[in-house]
């Protein structure tokens, strides 16, 4: 591998500089993505066409100069693989025609296997070949809880009260669905590693809507199980968005990297996650500021994390209307940085 900075940092090894990539880097901020997106019927067609998924995965590596490629796909591949298809509605987000409400609904779902996500496997294989060792290739999946939230709600939500109603009123039912998602996700991520993913990230995007007394039971124990299985074959990153109330439990999970959102103080995080690599955590909205301010904020972030055991990133996905040169300013500032 020509540039293995990110993998070295993930493993806790020393690197010549801090590696950087951006969550949602392969998306609407880039002109090439928008062009490809306009040429297909819908979002799922793009996800399911390996040549196009590969093309948009590579674009940020070439245009932004990031230190990793993340396979272009979506966390909602899993519900679909289990038998619950979704549509991506323009400027609204995901929509599931049918949602999961009963034992019968859960029984009707399958534990997904390779044939249900062969298009992701093929996209990874093709991208791995095209990258030719330039930078590492990242795989990913949603956390069981975050996937559960979409399968029960049918879309995004402000409160996720439908999902939360099930955990409080029918916990056994909730656990049986979480079990099925977890088993599917372990198979899915193992297939991603076999197809060329060098590291896998678990996105717990909706972890923060749970509480200190429910996070372990309904989210973290399932991510911990995935991390135990996957750590045997690749480094694992857990991104528990909004769930730092569970930091002490998170620190015990068998993963190499913890993703931090912008609410977290880097110095505090270092104290809790002593033996882990940290990733994050600039507020994506900071990239709306002028480039001079972005440079300054990026350097402050780098100073706070220090040069080791660290992967620079935003604290959540980049917003689609962020100017590309502002994103580039963030990336370049990290690459030019020398620890003070
Ligand atoms: O560059 C990358 O990071 C890889 C691509 C990627 C996408 N989705 C592409 C995408 C990744 C890693 C995801 C993960 C994902 N998908 C998450 C977890 C990360 C997070 O942001 O918390 C979640 C919650 C989803 C579900 C999802 N997909 C939503 C809520 C939406 C609609 C909102 C939006 O951003 O438009 C999507 C759609 C989606 N996934 C787009 C892209 C590029 C935009 C759709 C389009 O181009 O029409």
Ligand 1 site, residue 26, Cβ cutoff 6 A: yes
DSSP 101-144: -SHHHHHHS----GGGSHHHHHHHHHHHHHHTTSS-EEEEEE-H
Whether the CB-CB separation of 206 and 160 falls below 8 Å is answered with yes
Ligand 1 probe mutation, 21, 22, 23, 24, most atoms within 8 A of CB:
24
Ligand 1 site, residue 72, Cβ cutoff 6 A: yes
What's the full length of the chain, in residues? 340
Give the single-character DSSP code of 86: -
Q: Would you write out the chain's pLDDT as a tens digit for each of its 340 residues?
A: 999 999 999 999 999 999 999 999 999 999 999 999 999 999 999 999 999 999 999 999 999 999 999 999 999 999 999 999 999 998 899 999 999 999 999 999 999 999 999 999 999 999 999 999 999 999 999 999 999 999 999 999 999 999 999 999 999 999 999 999 999 999 999 999 999 999 999 999 999 999 999 999 999 999 999 999 999 999 999 999 999 999 999 999 999 999 999 999 999 999 999 999 999 999 999 999 999 999 999 999 999 999 899 999 999 999 999 999 999 999 999 999 998 7
Give the count of domains, the chain: 1
pLDDT, residue 190, reads 98
Does residue 165 carry a catalytic annotation?
no
**Residue 267 alpha carbon to ligand 1 centre in Å:** 29
Ligand 1 site, residue 151, Cβ cutoff 6 A: no
Whether the CB-CB separation of 142 and 78 falls below 8 Å is answered with yes
Residue nearest to atom 33 of ligand 1 (CA): 93
CATH number at residue 147: 3.20.20.210
pLDDT, residue 339, reads 80
Does residue 17 carry a catalytic annotation?
no
**Residue 74 alpha carbon to ligand 1 centre in Å:** 6
Ligand 1 probe mutation, 30, 88, 153, 188, most atoms within 8 A of CB:
88
Pairing label, strands 236-239, 137-142: unpaired
Which ligand 1 atom sits closest to the C-alpha of 320? 35
Q: Which of 24, 270, 288, 319 is catalytic?
A: 24
Can you give the residue range of the structural domain that contains 233?
Answer: 5-336
Ligand 1 site, residue 186, Cβ cutoff 6 A: no
pLDDT, residue 340, reads 76
Ligand 1 site, residue 70, Cβ cutoff 6 A: yes
Q: Which of 4, 67, 86, 150 is catalytic?
A: 150
Ligand 1 site, residue 34, Cβ cutoff 6 A: no
Which ligand 1 atom sits closest to the C-alpha of 203? 18
**Residue 140 alpha carbon to ligand 1 centre in Å:** 12
Gap between the Cα atoms of 291 and 328, Å rounded: 9
pLDDT, residue 88, reads 95
Gap between the Cα atoms of 340 and 332, Å rounded: 17
For residue 223, count other CB atoms closer than 10 A to its CB: 26
Strands (DSSP E) contained in the chain are: 69-70, 87-89, 93-95, 137-142, 199-203, 236-239, 257-259, 277-282, 310-314
**Residue 94 alpha carbon to ligand 1 centre in Å:** 9
pLDDT, residue 181, reads 98
**Residue 220 alpha carbon to ligand 1 centre in Å:** 22
Ligand 1 site, residue 33, Cβ cutoff 6 A: no
pLDDT, residue 307, reads 86
């Amino acid at each position: 591998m020509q540039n293995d900075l990110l993998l070295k940092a993930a493993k806790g090894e020393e690197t010549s500089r801090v590696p950087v990539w951006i969550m949602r880097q392969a998306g609407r901020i880039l002109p090439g993505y928008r062009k490809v997106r306009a040429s297909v019927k819908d979002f799922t067609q793009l996800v399911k066409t390996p040549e196009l998924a590969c093309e948009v995965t590579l674009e940020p590596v070439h245009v932004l100069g990031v230190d990793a490629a993340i396979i272009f796909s979506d966390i909602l591949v899993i519900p679909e693989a289990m038998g619950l298809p979704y549509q991506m509605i323009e400027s609204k987000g995901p929509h599931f025609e049918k949602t999961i409400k009963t034992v019968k609904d859960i029984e009707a779902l399958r534990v997904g296997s390779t044939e249900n996500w062969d298009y992701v496997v093929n996209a990874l294989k093709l991208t791995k070949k095209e990258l030719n060792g330039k930078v590492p290739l990242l795989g990913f999946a949603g956390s069981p809880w975050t996937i559960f939230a979409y399968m029960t709600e049918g879309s995004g939500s402000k409160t996720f009260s439908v999902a939360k109603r099930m955990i409080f009123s029918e916990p056994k039912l909730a656990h049986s669905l979480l079990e099925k998602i977890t088993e599917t996700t372990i198979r899915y991520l193992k297939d991603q590693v076999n197809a060329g993913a060098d590291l896998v990230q678990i996105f717990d995007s909706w972890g923060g809507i749970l509480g200190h007394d429910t996070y372990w039971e309904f989210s973290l124990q399932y991510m911990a199980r995935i991390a135990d299985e996957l750590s045997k074959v690749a480094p694992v990153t857990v991104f528990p968005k909004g769930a730092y109330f569970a930091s002490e439990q998170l620190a015990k999970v068998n993963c190499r990297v913890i993703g931090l959102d912008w609410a977290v103080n880097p110095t505090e995080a270092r104290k809790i996650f002593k033996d882990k690599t940290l990733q994050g955590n600039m507020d994506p909205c900071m990239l709306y500021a002028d480039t001079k301010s972005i440079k300054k904020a990026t350097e402050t972030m780098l100073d706070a994390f220090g040069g080791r055991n660290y992967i620079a990133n935003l604290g959540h996905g980049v917003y689609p209307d962020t100017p590309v040169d502002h994103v580039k300013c963030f990336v370049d500032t990290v690459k030019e940085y020398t620890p003070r």
